[in-house]
Amino acid sequence: MQTQLLVTGSYGQLGRAVIAAAKSRGVAVEGRDLDTLDITDPEAVRAWIEPLNPRGVINCAAYTAVDDCEEHETEAMAVNATAVGHLAEACNLTGATLVQISTDYVFDGAGSHPYREDDPVAPTSAYGRTKLAGEAAARTARRHLIVRTAWLYGRGGRHFVGAIQRQIESGNREIRVVADQRGCPTFCDDLAAAVLDLLAADAAGVVHVVNSGETTWHGFALEIARRLRADVTIEPVTTSDFPRPAPRPAYSVLDISRMAAILGRTTPTWQDALGRYLEAK
């Protein structure tokens, strides 16, 4: 059977979810990660993609250490942008669609209404700048789909849900969580399903995909604790109480109406997604 999809970053939480979702649909898929593919090497990228002649290449690989990016922007740019250009070139040789996973960090976070795909971008962090450059590189693919998402969690990776769980399981009964950043918690399984559906629908351009609804990190933590039936106090704090090298968007809610129009459906609520994730663990 001809390989229909190729997935980079196959060991990451989203890459795993995409591969699992593709296999569940009977789609022939192959994944690569750092041990078998250096996406910053154009020859290696071309040697992998061209012979397989896939329908789509889904790039889940990224330099995602947001704070580290501030000191290592050159390295982050190589992975998050230059390498995307290599993938685009290889896709142009085969006619494959390049699906680039992007982020809410391309916005400055100063908004108060859900960001639409055509809203002005203005990243304030090195991570955001490199991911925005990745979007530009992805557009050099004749067939491309750029999926912006946010606040990801899933199996096989480090994320906020796991961090709160670990604190609860370690016996911590007072957990301080930022309450002045608002966004959309997103389960990788739901994102993976939407990405595959968008690819099947021949969607192009930029599409926002997150779970429905919005909350703060504090509200997210409260729901995690409630579902785990944990007897803990979740104390709200401000961003300034947790200074970090990279600025975080205060508001990064993404509007998913374009996705809904293309697919004829919305995504499950973030509360529903969280429940399914916790029940499956």
DSSP the chain: ----EEEESTTSHHHHHHHHHHHHTT--EEEE-TTT--TT-HHHHHHHHHHH--SEEEE------HHHHHH-HHHHHIIIIIHHHHHHHHHHHHTPEEEEEEEGGGS-S--SSPBPTTSPP---SHHHHHHHHHHHHHTTSSSEEEEEE-SEE-TTS--HHHHHHHHHHTT--EEEEE-S-EE--EEHHHHHHHHHHHHHTT--EEEE---BS-EEHHHHHHHHHHHTT---EEEEE-GGGS--SSPPPSB--B--HHHHHHHTS-PPBHHHHHHHHHHH-
251 — phi, psi (to 5°)?
-135, 115
254 pairs with which residues across the strands? 115
Q: Identify the active-site residue in 63, 105, 127, 251.
A: 127
Distance CA 177, CA 129 (A): 26
CA 176 to chain CA centroid, Å, is 25
Name the residue among 180, 117, 144 with its Cα closest to residue 59.
144
| 42 neighbors 86 (Cβ within 8 angstroms) | yes
Indicate if 127 belongs to the active site: yes
Residues annotated as catalytic are: 127
